[in-house]
Structure 1
Amino acid sequence: MEKLVVLLAFLPCVSMMTLPNTMMDSDPSLRFAVMGDWGGLPLPPYYTKQETLVAAELANTVSNWGADFIVSVGDNFYYSGVKDVTDSRFQKTFEDVFDAESLSSVPWYIIGGNHDHNGNITAQLAYTNVSSRWKFPDLYYDLSFKIPKTNVSVRLLMLDTIVLCGNSDDFLGEQPLGSSNQKLANEQLSWLVEKLESSKDEYLLVAGHYPVWSIAEHGPTKCLQHLLEPLLTKYSVTAYLCGHDHNMQYLQDDSGIGYVLSGAGNFMENSRKHEDRVPADYLRFFQGDSETMGGFVYMQVTPKEMHITYIQSGGKSLFQTTLNPRDL
């Protein structure tokens, strides 16, 4: 199911990075970045140095490689979301930071994190009608894409794991203790099962804020291990995308599902606190060193393979791997 490639040399800038041998610029592909936990600070200047460096590298990567869209896996505004749709945080933490020309027309598909739910999450939905880039139509929603010039399809199911599992307090390190609205949680879970059952897509991705698997500060999310993991396995999901822990991880389970954790947009935490709660052979890559100043994941989906590249601020390619299309 997987081809594993660890880059032995760190390259000085993204423009010099080498695409995988099977991934040439002329090949048809769908390209996007995955980034979480980039949400600045609630005090002036409303962003962190790491966020600005990640934004600069994201702009470089998109300029050099291109991107059809960006996936934001939550915690868009620290520490208590936004107050309303006119909140200046939209401008100061998002628009003014990710302001490079290469990012100006790239859509951002958004989901909420626990910190977003501490504020007015519906205001983030409403901002979809204000910004041409900000795409957050509902708390959970379905995206479908075709790889250009092919009939190969990629489906991305965007979840609200806070609605599913409840909120959590990062500073106490607690697990989400259960949904505050079980009716809404059940409706989302039913929706997800229906979407998974009906999918005939060659690539099927699911995104949420909380991780299913993580070795770091927050560790595996018990609620998602109970509710979500069996569904990912049953319906042969290609990969699960998430954030919440402030580092970068790649894990892969025995069935071949890739777990892409990209939570290094604003802070870095070098915690391996829950390593003993993850099967030893699952973890393939981990980076939490604060000196790296964060990063994100860049994904290229071709008819033959999905390429996953972890990119550090400054342009170093830290890790690459590939996943195959689903066997339908």
Structure 2
Amino acid sequence: MSKVADQMGADFVLALGDNFYYKGVDSVDSPRFQDTFESVYTAKSLRVPWYVLAGNHDHAGNVKAQIEYSQKSNRWKFPSYYYELNFHIPNTGKTLTIIMLDTIMLCGNSDDYMDEKPRGPLRAVDANRQLAWLQERTGSVHGRLPAGGRPLPCVVRVRTLAPQSAFCRGFIPCLINTRPLLTSVGHDHNLQYIEESGVGYVVSGAGNFLDPDVRHWNHVPKGSVKFFTGQASTLGGFVHAEVTKNKMIVTFYQAKGTSLYRTVLSQRNFE
């Protein structure tokens, strides 16, 4: 990641869930913040803002502690369970908006090892409040990239890196009606690019585990999976994206920094 960030540029990183296996952290003073974040991503090119969301494993611990850690770190940015980011695209009059979602709060948690679907939100009032917030922000907007730690099918000089991110473990019923509002999610532990009806879905879930399982291919339209890798030989991977005035260039990398797949997404006209 540091090599690609240095060569390609990175204005920020999206860390979209499962930040601490297997049960999150218990307090803001947990040594895990140092052991698996501060002491790992030490390169100068990665000393940029890291915008964070909670995944299902984080919700097994104390998510509020991760939010509070924002006050102790210069680059860990986790202001709330869900929030909105806005970035000016250089040399244009345009803004890139990223909608950061807590998909566990929306849909509930699940057991990875049982490959079960989420059991529904723990508190319906919290789920409904977030959904209303999301719908209010995605009603009639161009250039918005919703991102969350639970699948569906972002990573900017504005440039971004996404290691373990929320960008698809099949289409979850409670989120299905939000498509194509949600364009980047990832719970599958692999790298995928899915394209359906002109919408690109980026799966960047190879920051820790690798899973070559392709059973979920049957849950997306035939021919929509344009790229997939979950092979152990890649040693994991991540996504880099660059946003310009009218397009987003998305590149999938394996751990050693070798490019695996690249695609260009043009700005869609919703009018």
Residues 165, 179 of structure 1: 8 Å contact kept: yes
Give a deviation string over 1:90-112, Cα, whole Å, max 9, x none: 000111111112212x1000111
Q: How does 1:64-213 map to 2 (within 5 A)?
A: 64-104=7-47, 106-197=48-139, 199=141, 201=142, 203-213=143-153
Give a deviation string over 1:63-87, Cα, whole Å, max 9, x none: 1111111111110000000000000
- After TM superposition, the score normalised by the length of structure 2 is 0.91
Offset at residue 326 of structure 1 (A): 2.8
Given candidates 221, 233, 238, the residue that maps to 2:172 is 221
Offset at residue 305 of structure 1 (A): 1.4
Offset at residue 304 of structure 1 (A): 2.5
Q: How does 1:297-316 map to 2 (within 5 A)?
A: 297-316=239-258
Amino acid at match of 2:186: G
Q: What percentage of residue pairs aligned between the two structures are identical?
A: 46
Amino acid at match of 1:243: G
Q: How does 1:218-257 map to 2 (within 5 A)?
A: 218-226=169-177, 228-229=178-179, 232=180, 237=181, 240-254=183-197, 256-257=198-199
In structure 1, the partner of 2:223 is: 281
Secondary structure at 2:201 match in 1: strand
Give a deviation string over 1:3-47, Cα, whole Å, max 9, x none: xxxxxxxxxxxxxxxxxxxxxxxxxxxxxxxxxxxxxxxxxxxxx
Residue segments in structure 1 that go unaligned for 5+ positions in a row: 1-57
Q: How does 1:313-324 map to 2 (within 5 A)?
A: 313-324=255-266
Residue segments in structure 2 that go unaligned for 5+ positions in a row: 154-167
Whole-angstrom distance in 1 between the partners of 2:174 and 2:192: 20
Secondary structure at 1:223 match in 2: helix
- Structure 1 segments of 4 or more deviating over 3 A? none
Offset at residue 222 of structure 1 (A): 2.2
In structure 1, the partner of 2:165 is: none
Q: CA RMSD in A?
A: 1.4
Offset at residue 219 of structure 1 (A): 2.8
Amino acid at match of 2:58: D
Bigger radius of gyration among the two: 1
Residues 270, 289 of structure 1: 8 Å contact kept: yes
Offset at residue 278 of structure 1 (A): 1.6
